Structure 1
Amino acid sequence: MFPQQKQYDVVIVGGGLAGLVAAVTAREQKLTTLVLEKGRTMGGDGNYVEGAMGVDSYLQKQANIQIDPTELLRDELAYSHYEASAPHLRQFIKASGQIIDWLHSLGVAFSQVGPQGKSWPTIHTFAGGGHAAVTKLYQVARAAGAEFVTSMSAQKLLLTDGHIAGVVIKNEATGQTRDLHTAHVILATGGYVDNPELIKQRTPFSRRLLSVSDGKSTGDGMQLAWGVGAQHYQMGAIQYGGGAIYDRVQPPYVHMASQVAAAATQEAILWVNERGERFTNEDVNDNMCHAGSAILTQSRVFSILDQAAVDHLTNVGLYKEVGNSPVSPEKFDHLQTELDQTLASHAKYLVQADSLDELAQKLTLDQLPQTVARYNELTAAGTDRDFGKQAAYLTPVTTGPFYAVELGVGMACALGGLRVDETNAVLNDYGYPVPGLYAAGNDAAGMLVGDTYAVTLPGSTAGYAAFSGRNAVLSLSRENLATAVD
């Protein structure tokens, strides 16, 4: 069904977290508001986020968590190699706590605040997960009078004298199109993680990149903006979820709760490449994006486990706390069962052998026996002189049978593609706004990062989605007021 009207104060393209926040804010500003969602359901990848970043929120004040915003800014700029926009990141940090408080005032519930692994204590965990948060925002926006249409995509932005004048929309069920009139469009389409051609520009090993997105983040927003002269900008940052089972048959989400996957990636006893050579310190997986980058330096990667490790993880407990996985029990009590079932199914990503020589032969990992011998030597010495793995995580590989799990890299999102200013207005190649066009969420989040997602600032994707969606509307609303005064 097409929208009820032909003209709106603001049209929001995308019904994820950023788009929903923009819709609520637009109705607070008394703007006639339409949200276009090309899928059949709302929330996008916001349904799967854990929480939102904030500094100086009500929860942090209750917990007496104090963060120096200038120190945080300096740390994140260094992490990005100063590719992040300092003014933009500074503004986000400054407003982030207020955004958390505002969401809380709307009825979005948070269960706790703190760090994730070795990070700043900034993630405000959504009670009930991201789905509960986006459901509440959708309810608030609809009750306030925002209009939503599903299975409706934006095909083209329309300009009059260089200013946004409308958008061509398409009914995905019937193929029919229609022109809508609006002076303001906010692009909130979720980035480009589900667009293989755009991902291929980022890495030569894109075949081993596995999207765990909702499938709708195909770069629509950036391509709409590029069509009206927006700058191609900062497409280097993909949020890697560390290693993931490289299954050529089943989609990656099938393995998200797998104890085999968690053992092979999070415990990371020994990783080898296509020649059977060790190539990194496996505790790199403490930073999931660094782990993803390390895996992609090799043509193929296998995680090696022995039976002693499987027995320990199954019956005793974990070697290290699981930090970047949906699976976080005290021990992997189903690990042996999962391994047996997977082997019985003849899945290509898992290979078992009674000896290291046999495992090497099955997978053509010529150097595997020598690699394991060297690794066990380092483990016995208690010092990884080769790559610097923490001594506490040095676990020998000695007892057959032996297992090899092939790894790819999971991708939660891809950030950027558009350059925006501190109002979230989209900029052209000369650094000036395309009048009336704004971007929020992952479409604009390249402003915050370098070539690696900011794992050190947990909750930043969701936090920025909320901040930028609200910031865009407040900015265009001020523009409207200024125009009225003039």
Structure 2
Amino acid sequence: MFPKDNEYDLVIVGAGLSGLCAAVAAQEKNLHTLVIEKGRSLGGDGNYVEGAMGVDSYLQKQENINIDPVELLQDELQYSHYEASAPHLKKYIDDSGNTIDWLHQLGVKFAKVGKQGKSWPTIHTFEGGGHAAIKVLLSHLQENNLVEIVTSLSAQKLLKNNGHISGLIVMDEATGEEREIKANNIILATGGYVDNPALVKRHINFTSRLMSVSDGKSTGDGMQLAWQVGADQYRMGAIQYGGGAIYDKTRPPFVYMASQLAVAATQEAILWVNERGERFVNEDVNDNMCHAGDAILTQARVFSILDQSTIDHLANVGLYKEIGNSPVSPDKLDNLKDEISGYLKQHVKFLTQADSVNELATKLNLPELKDTIEHYNDLVQKGQDTDFGKAKEYLTPLEQGPYYAVELGVGMACALGGLKVDNQNQVLNSHGYPVPGLFAIGNDAAGMLVGDTYAVTLPGSTAGYAAFSGRNAVKSIN
């Protein structure tokens, strides 16, 4: 299906969180707007985000949470090794509280605000999850006919006239038929490139154990459209790793996002070993999920080792440590034993059970596992991790069979960057000047905020930036 009209004030390519925030902002400015979405559903990865970053929001004021924005800016610049754009990051931080308040005024409900792992207390958790926030935005867009949304319609080519964006070619995904749409302003909101294996392989140290947990539509469309009209290729390679994840070659990784076994294996800081059965890191690294992902990828294979006493404790008593980076945040893993039983009956490849450490080592060909566990238990007994420095309270012994090994890969939630933008989110060329009429928002432009690692220290930053950048781009459109 094609749009009703042939000409618009603004065309937004992509109907995820950033695109829908831009659409609501455009509606508030009375701009005749078209939103095109190549898929059949709306909201993109925005349906799955936990919350949005904000500083000095209404909720933080209620909770007496005070953050010095200059201190925060300096901390994030240091975290990025000053590869982040200081002016752009500053504008985002300074307007982030106002962005949260705007979402709240629209009707988006926030359950709480606080930290996630070892971080700044900036994540405003969506009540009902990201899907609920998307639903609120869509309800506002249905109030009048200023904004038209068309699904199964993709952008094929951007058009220019005398150096200025003049429109684009769109294609009906069902029929392959193309049509030209005129517009002097186009916003690219296509979600980055995490679902484009070729681009991911080109810009990071790719292995088969990297698994996208995106919606499958973030294939780098926006950046590739922009590059064709002279945009600068900028700051790629920052992947938002979800830390460790169950490594199953037979099923999509999102199947295990709410798995309690995944929580036990990745979040509870017990014992990780490599393909030889050697411990290689402080397992509490998972407080920074991107650092955890990096650590796992230094090894050829990684297994999380559990024993029956740790399973019993997690299921019946409670967690060893608060879960900082997981969609599952219960007091205890009360379904863990049933999950393990079910997986074993299915004979899944990622889970191995054995009555003894020796048997587990033999099954998985982990020659150093027995010595590793004996040495680790000795560290636990002494109450000090003299190898890697894990906190004493997370030193948990492994002494009671059966023993379990869960093979881990690394989940990728999103890939940031590809386009350089100015403080109005206008796309820049290689000389640092705007491509007139072209804007990029959300993950397509979020490389401006990071270095080579996603800013886990600033939780909610991608969703917060999606909302901020969507509004920010529209502000400069007349």
TM-score range for the pair, normalised by the shorter chain length: over 0.9
Deviation at 1:57, TM superposition (A): 1.3
* Matched position secondary structure for 2:65: coil
Amino acid at match of 2:39: G
Pairs within 5 Å for 1:347-386: 347-386=348-387
Equivalent position of 2:448 in the other structure: 447
Amino acid at match of 2:300: S
1:52 touches 1:123 (CA, 8 Å); kept in 2? yes
2:200 touches 2:237 (CA, 8 Å); kept in 1? no
2:235 touches 2:418 (CA, 8 Å); kept in 1? yes
- CA root-mean-square deviation: 1.2
* Matched position secondary structure for 1:426: strand
Pairs within 5 Å for 1:336-485: 336-477=337-478
1:268 touches 1:303 (CA, 8 Å); kept in 2? no
Amino acid at match of 1:92: Y
2:384 touches 2:392 (CA, 8 Å); kept in 1? yes
* Matched position secondary structure for 2:326: coil
Equivalent position of 2:242 in the other structure: 241
2:158 touches 2:225 (CA, 8 Å); kept in 1? yes
Equivalent position of 1:143 in the other structure: 143
1:45 touches 1:214 (CA, 8 Å); kept in 2? yes
1-structure distance, mates of 2:333, 2:39: 37
Deviation at 1:46, TM superposition (A): 0.8
Equivalent position of 2:310 in the other structure: 309
* Matched position secondary structure for 1:469: helix
Equivalent position of 1:127 in the other structure: 127
Unaligned runs of 5+ in 1: 478-486
* Matched position secondary structure for 1:347: coil
* Matched position secondary structure for 1:36: strand
Amino acid at match of 1:259: Q
2-structure distance, mates of 1:334, 1:189: 37
* Matched position secondary structure for 1:476: coil
Amino acid at match of 2:33: T
Deviation at 1:195, TM superposition (A): 1.0
How many percent of aligned residue pairs carry the same amino acid?
70
* Matched position secondary structure for 1:237: strand
Unaligned runs of 5+ in 2: none
2:69 touches 2:93 (CA, 8 Å); kept in 1? yes
Deviation at 1:239, TM superposition (A): 0.9
Equivalent position of 2:300 in the other structure: 299
Equivalent position of 2:321 in the other structure: 320
1-structure distance, mates of 2:259, 2:100: 32
2-structure distance, mates of 1:427, 1:398: 59
Amino acid at match of 1:235: M
Equivalent position of 2:31 in the other structure: 31
Equivalent position of 2:165 in the other structure: 164
2:83 equivalent to 1:89: no
Deviation at 1:308, TM superposition (A): 1.6
Equivalent position of 1:70 in the other structure: 70
Encode CA deviations 1:403-450: one digit per residue, 9 max, x unaligned: 110000111111111111111011111111111110000000010011
2:167 touches 2:180 (CA, 8 Å); kept in 1? yes
Amino acid at match of 1:216: K
TM-score by length of 2: 0.98
Amino acid at match of 1:27: Q
1-structure distance, mates of 2:15, 2:204: 29
Deviation at 1:288, TM superposition (A): 1.0
TM-score by length of 1: 0.96
Encode CA deviations 1:228-250: one digit per residue, 9 max, x unaligned: 11111111211111100000111
2:204 touches 2:237 (CA, 8 Å); kept in 1? no
2:37 touches 2:153 (CA, 8 Å); kept in 1? yes
Cα separation, partners in 2 of 1:241 and 1:390, compared to 1, 3 Å: same
Deviation at 1:147, TM superposition (A): 0.6
* Matched position secondary structure for 1:417: strand
* Matched position secondary structure for 1:456: coil
Aligned length in residues: 477
Equivalent position of 2:4 in the other structure: 4
Q: Which sits farther off after the overlay, 311-320 or 34-43?
A: 311-320
Encode CA deviations 1:333-362: one digit per residue, 9 max, x unaligned: 222221122111110001111222221121
Encode CA deviations 1:74-111: one digit per residue, 9 max, x unaligned: 01111111111000000001111111112222222222
Deviation at 1:321, TM superposition (A): 1.4
Deviation at 1:118, TM superposition (A): 1.8
1-structure distance, mates of 2:343, 2:296: 23
Encode CA deviations 1:447-470: one digit per residue, 9 max, x unaligned: 001111111111111110011011
Pairs within 5 Å for 1:206-217: 206-217=207-218
